[in-house]
Amino acid sequence: MMQKNELVKVKIEDIGVGGEGIGKVDGYTLFIKDAIIGDVVEAKVMKAKKNYGYARLMNVLTPSEDRVEEVVCPMARKCGGCQIQEMKYPAQLAFKESKVRGNLERIGEVPGELLDEIMHPVVGMDEEGMQPFRYRNKAQFPIGTDKDGRVTAGFYAGRTHSIIGNTDCVLGVEVNEEILNCILDFMEEFEIPAYDEVKHKGLVRHVLLRYGFKTDEIMVCLVINGKTIPHCHDLVGRLRQIPGMTSITLSSNTAKTNVIMGDTIRLLWGQEFITDYIGEIKYQISPLSFYQVNPVQTEKLYGLALDYAGLTGNETVWDLYCGIGTISLFLAQKAKFVRGVEIVPAAIENAKENAKLNGLENTEFFVGKAEEVLPREYKKNGVYADVIVVDPPRKGCDETLLETMIEMNPERIVYVSCDSATLARDLKYLCARGYELRKVCPVDQFGMTVHVETVVLLSQQKPDDTIEIDLDLDELDATSA
Ligand code: SAH
């Protein structure tokens, strides 16, 4: 066993699911954040348990071949947003691919030989030797007060709620900094207090920013612990000078909670939404709606989902967890009819509007929990599906939902997942009940982080899928003779 504060020299041999380096000293396992496979590092033991411990990276003695020369963001180690910025992009992709594969094998019990056959290599961003940055169309900055009493915007330090001032996150668009400085200057000038999470006092909690990559439209939504902002008119006057400003709104959140957004939105200036395109389809996005954060990769992801759905124009499709109808409308271009279900009412309003906007009227959208709406529509109203697409949040699908899907018995199921562990769990359920895994493709939507999106295709196991046996008739004759 190690002692706390002990300094050790470790060769990093493995990587954990959170991106942390793993190495051994005399058989004792140490987890070291910011160290990567191939590094030899000096680390200080911070927490020592019986069989393993956590250590802090002090010095990289011999850098790994996969280590970048210089990390782009000076805050990378402190900030909880990026976990693997120190790793070259091809190594990040390899890590993600093996993470998906590992989860499917271990949790999903998918045989390795099958994955060798059906798993596509991870689809990364095309950056030609560069690290991909500035890919995010959305940022949520917490607002707080620094130790000198000045209002600040930034990020939570990893695993904590203390705010590290940083208005230029390199994953986001450059204009974010200008917008944040405009808001912070305004707060400073009119002495508008930032929210204090511990005391549950103060006003401005968060700033949500969205940027339409294809339209250059900007959305600003201030989340406040109250109903109004004093001198609001002045703030709007400043913000609207920023080129591209399209939507300025307030969301009131007076609850003592970690949830960022309030339930409602109040328009301050412009319109309540911005518009953006994925492929040919135009989407209106409001502050409360989910929208994929990496539009370039999303186009590839949806392209795959559409391809896997195998539509010919005659199919009835369900898109579960549909958000603003992004995948639904992609599918509606090629299907007979698409039904979407989503829990956030504002997102469904967007979805209906988006269907009209694109002239895709072969769609119907439902507000509610997928695990309640689908069984209801199936059992009471007799709806069916040739293809079901699911795109749940990290916790995956509710078992009631999977059960109904099995009962509905669609030809194909396309599962889009942002957490390969829950994906694997759900695949195991479906594959034990008549479905067969046909295709798997990880897509990197979140460079510099450990997160990875995966899209898979399942189809009904057909009786004619049974193993072919070559009967040797001569041999048969011989034995029967
Ligand atoms: N398919 C969409 C959204 C995927 S994100 C897209 O690609 O843009 C997952 C969505 O599921 C979110 O919009 C979230 O609000 C919604 N959601 C979460 N739990 C849900 C549930 N139980 N039933 C239906 N929708 C849910």
Per DSSP, the residues of 352-390 read HHHHHHTT--SEEEEES-HHHHHHHHHHTT----SEEEE
Whether ligand 1 lies within 6 angstroms of the CB of 39 is answered as no
From ligand 1's centre to the CA of 19, what distance in Å?
A: 26
**Tokens matching residue 423:** 């994906």
pLDDT one-digit tens code per residue, 175-214? 999 999 999 999 999 999 999 999 999 999 999 999 999 9
Statement: residue 277 has pLDDT above 90: yes
Whether ligand 1 lies within 6 angstroms of the CB of 290 is answered as yes
pLDDT one-digit tens code per residue, 107-131? 999 999 999 999 999 999 987 778 8
Statement: residue 467 has pLDDT above 60: no
From ligand 1's centre to the CA of 392, what distance in Å?
A: 5
Structure confidence at residue 157 (pLDDT): 77
Statement: residue 252 has pLDDT above 90: yes
Q: Which of 342, 348, 399 to mutate to test the pocket of ligand 1 (most atoms within 8 A of CB)?
A: 342
Helix then strand then coil, % of the chain, to nearest 5 = 25, 30, 45
Statement: residue 435 has pLDDT above 90: yes
Burial degree of 183 (CB within 10 A; 0-12, 13-18, 19+): buried
* Averaged pLDDT score across all residues of the chain: 94
Whether ligand 1 lies within 6 angstroms of the CB of 397 is answered as no
Contact 325, 291 (CB under 8 A): no
From ligand 1's centre to the CA of 390, what distance in Å?
A: 9
Statement: residue 478 has pLDDT above 90: no
Confidence category of residue 159, pLDDT binned at 50, 70, 90: confident
Q: Whole-model pTM?
A: 0.92
Confidence category of residue 134, pLDDT binned at 50, 70, 90: very high
Vertex 326, ends 321 and 327: CA angle to 5°? 70
Section 276-290 average pLDDT: 94
DSSP conformation class of 192:
P
Structure confidence at residue 474 (pLDDT): 52
| Percent of the chain topping pLDDT 70 | 96
Whether ligand 1 lies within 6 angstroms of the CB of 24 is answered as no
Residue 373, φ and ψ in degrees, nearest 5? -65, -45
Whether ligand 1 lies within 6 angstroms of the CB of 323 is answered as yes
Beta-strand ranges (E) seen in 202-311 are: 204-211, 218-224, 245-252, 266-270, 274-278, 281-285
pLDDT one-digit tens code per residue, 368-416? 999 999 999 999 988 999 999 999 999 999 999 999 999 999 999 999 9
Q: Which of 292, 293, 339, 343 to mutate to test the pocket of ligand 1 (most atoms within 8 A of CB)?
A: 343
pLDDT one-digit tens code per residue, 52-111? 999 999 999 999 999 999 999 999 998 888 999 999 999 999 999 999 999 999 999 999
The protein residue with its alpha carbon nearest to ligand 1, atom 11, reads: 321
From ligand 1's centre to the CA of 343, what distance in Å?
A: 7
pLDDT one-digit tens code per residue, 294-332? 999 999 999 999 999 999 999 999 999 999 999 999 999
Structure confidence at residue 41 (pLDDT): 98
Confidence category of residue 237, pLDDT binned at 50, 70, 90: very high
Structure confidence at residue 1 (pLDDT): 76
- Residues 6+ positions from 212 with CB-CB distance below 8 Å: 137, 218, 246, 274, 275, 276, 277, 285
The protein residue with its alpha carbon nearest to ligand 1, atom 10, reads: 321
